[in-house]
Amino acid sequence: MSKEKTKTDSKKTNPKKIALPQGEVQRGAGGELHQTGEGTQHSVLTTNQGVALSDNQNSLRANPRGPTLLEDFILREKITHFDHERIPERIVHARATGVHGFFELTASLKQYTTARILTEIGEKTPVFTRISTVAGGAGSVDTPRDVRGFAVKFYTKEGNWDLVGNNIPVFFIQDAIKFPDLIHAVKMEPDRGFPQSATAHDTFWDFISLTPESMHMVMWIMSDRTLPRSLRMIEGFGVHSFRLINKAGESTFVKFHWRPKLGLQSTLWDETVKIAGADPDFHRREMFEAVQAGNFPEWEFAVQLFTQEDADAFPFDHLDPTKLIPEELVPLRVIGRMVLDRWPNNFFAETEQVAYCPANVVPGIDFSNDPLLQGRLFSYLDTQLSRLGSANFHQIPINAPKCPFANHQRDGHMQMAQPTGRVAYEPNSLSQDSPRETPTKGFRSAAVPEMGEKSRIRAESFADHYSQARQFYLSQTAYEQAHIASALVFELSKVEHVHIRETMVGHLRHIEEDLACRVAMGLGLAKIPTAPIPAAPVQDLPPSPALQLIGKMKNILMGRCIGILIADGSDGTVINRIKKAAMDEGASVKIIAPKVGGAKLADGSLLAADGQLAGTPSVLFDAVAVLLSGDGAKTLCMESAAIDFVRDAFGHLKAIGFDKGGAALLQAANIGQDAGVVDVNKKDAFIAAAKTRQWEREKSVRMLA
């Protein structure tokens, strides 16, 4: 190598600098805020080829509300580089649980679509569903405060359809070009390699504070939605608007929803932290045990259908992925159900190698111009090529369609099929049985006219960043509002830079002044920061009770788990009575004893234990019963794990059943009685209390913002 090529050239390696006005906050083309300090000089942002960028906030579109253009080399370079940053695990959604099952249609959408999976009532279609966390790596814990991915692969008669969504119906950003920035901000900070699987750090909140479009999503992630009790108790959303196309070529917009049969259920933050320590695999283990026991997870499948005329009347733009359509505005129509009934034979072969892509649709389903969706249509395929190492990843059994498929794509790394014949192109006249296009039944895009000047500009209808965030917050119960405020205080307390905390509180003033005051007080700010000027007026939208979580919880024991703490001398008759009553209501029951070998009951029999007290804390259960003899209580009153067992159950608002010996342990732990602390000898009282959290107790055990 010549000396000229190895010599350092400062003109080439040092980025150009541009001076910005001192202490100024600038608003970008997408409404984002750029904060500059005094005398700050910023490097010129360029492509990897050195081309300076005029706009890093918006993809190139055919018109402000039009589709993203393939010629956008800036988007493609940025997304491609991002997709290839990690091998072999996924960059996001690395930690996951996957289960096989089926989808059954119960109501036909024949007037809206030709997709057979949505028209043939009673047809059972195989599915593989993968539920994941977003931010953490494959070795992170199951229970962080995080969004859950909710991806379903339908193996339909017409090809694979992948509905790749989340347990939250909106997203942080409006344009796919910002996705690498979002994930870089939320991931471990690159100079220190932590925190793992957490948003409570400076880079995340710095990005969010300068991105007002994220405020709606912030309300969701700070809510109890991101602390699910079980993967069987979360909703799923397709997030974006899609199109259904009928036989006449007419299209109708659609949003897809999954609703859990068991209802929604969350944990409390303190409880979640302790679960992570007690069982990092809590969600995966709970799902596995449910499937193995035949308690198959089930969801209703529902749609929101609306026309272009309906959309024009909405007080928001449905193409904006930071917006949802309230159920009170467009009611949900339940059209089917999904049941997950078979655990994978091999985790790597299926859960890890499964490849989802929003671009995988079947005839009768099409895309909207949602700019985040448009970027995802490109990004997912590119990611799978990198992660699975070959263009032939579709031949891996978990990814392969269960219907016939054929084309002229050949060879490539890890080609597992053996195509025969002379012809590998179309049209051709040399082979009568080679695959050809099918004009009458093949996939057709919606015939939607597009016109306008191509540009990097965001539609004005995307400018309202606060109205739905306000609607979400005001729709919550008082308990949930307190949890949101407390979560914001916790997260922002971990942020080192005061100006980031202040900027976030300023945003909260547009959502609800009381929320901003509660968070400011919790952070110890001397005064309430000034709110930034919104890009569009904040609307007072009507509350939507459907957005609540507590209000949608079901007072049932089905899918819940009861822990019964015993010791030597416990009364087997009482234990069996409580166990039977709980199981009759659909709950599972686990026996906890000081030793894993179990305990000798009052009648001399040995009752095996499902868990040892020190390693099976009450955070793993939805309610607990403490059934002890006098001597057993005396022993456990000297055991800190037993004291913590009942104290945590009380602090986490769970029902506690007790007998005479159990009462002694509660007294030693300084636990008083309320509606959720009940004598097991009162008929059905414990079972009734165990069906719900004791929300009224919270104000007596926890200081909330």
567-581 per-position pLDDT tens digit: 999 999 999 999 999
pLDDT digits (tens, 9 = 90+) for 581-591: 999 999 999 99
Q: Is 360 a catalytic residue?
A: no
Q: Is 166 a catalytic residue?
A: yes
Strand, coil or helix: 371: helix
Give the pLDDT of residue 1.
Answer: 38
> If you average pLDDT over residues 262-276, what whole number do you get?
97
Strand, coil or helix: 130: strand
Give the pLDDT of residue 156.
Answer: 95
CA dihedral 220, 300, 291, 293 (to 10 degrees): 120
Give the pLDDT of residue 87.
Answer: 52
- Contact between residue 30 and residue 58 where contact means Cβ atoms under 8 Å apart: yes
Q: Dihedrals φ, ψ of 365, to 5°?
A: -125, 135
Q: What's the whole-model pTM score? A: 0.90
Give the pLDDT of residue 55.
Answer: 87
Give the pLDDT of residue 21.
Answer: 46
Residue 443, Cβ density class (10 Å: 0-12 exposed, 13-18 middle, ≥19 buried) = middle
pLDDT category, 703, cuts 50, 70, 90?
Answer: very high
pLDDT digits (tens, 9 = 90+) for 666-676: 999 999 989 99
Q: DSSP for 145-181?
A: S--EEEEEEEEETTEEEEEEEESSSS-S-SSGGGHHH
> If you average pLDDT over residues 602-613, what whole number do you get?
97
Q: For residue 224, is it left (φ>0), alpha (ψ between -120 and 50) or beta?
A: alpha
Least confidently predicted of 78-92, 132-146, 232-246, 533-547 = 78-92
User: Domains of the chain, with CATH numbers?
Assistant: 3-44 (no CATH), 80-395 (2.40.180.10), 466-551 (1.20.1370.20), 558-701 (3.40.50.880)
> If you average pLDDT over residues 47-72, what whole number do you get?
85
Residue 3 reports pLDDT greater than 80: no
pLDDT category, 27, cuts 50, 70, 90?
Answer: low
Residue 399, Cβ density class (10 Å: 0-12 exposed, 13-18 middle, ≥19 buried) = buried
Give the pLDDT of residue 28.
Answer: 65
The two tokens of residue 316 are 């928001």
Q: DSSP for 614-647?
A: GGS-GGG-SEEEE---HHHHHHHTT-HHHHHHHH
Give the pLDDT of residue 530.
Answer: 97
User: Which is catalytic among the residues 58, 93, 160, 283?
Assistant: 93
End-to-end CA distance of the chain: 64
Give the pLDDT of residue 391.
Answer: 87
pLDDT digits (tens, 9 = 90+) for 404-436: 888 888 888 888 888 888 988 888 899 888 888
Q: Which residue has the tokens 């289960």?
A: 99
Least confidently predicted of 37-51, 302-316, 686-700 = 37-51
Residue 674, Cβ density class (10 Å: 0-12 exposed, 13-18 middle, ≥19 buried) = middle
User: Which is catalytic among the residues 58, 100, 160, 166?
Assistant: 166
pLDDT category, 556, cuts 50, 70, 90?
Answer: very high
Give the pLDDT of residue 412.
Answer: 84
Give the pLDDT of residue 13.
Answer: 41
pLDDT digits (tens, 9 = 90+) for 121-178: 999 999 999 999 999 999 999 999 999 999 999 999 999 999 999 999 999 999 999 9
- Cβ neighbours of residue 655 closer than 8 Å, sequence gap 6 or more: 623, 624, 676, 677, 678, 686, 689, 690, 692, 694
Give the pLDDT of residue 256.
Answer: 98
Residue 317 reports pLDDT greater than 80: yes
Sign of CA dihedral 494, 499, 500, 503: positive
The two tokens of residue 71 are 């010629």
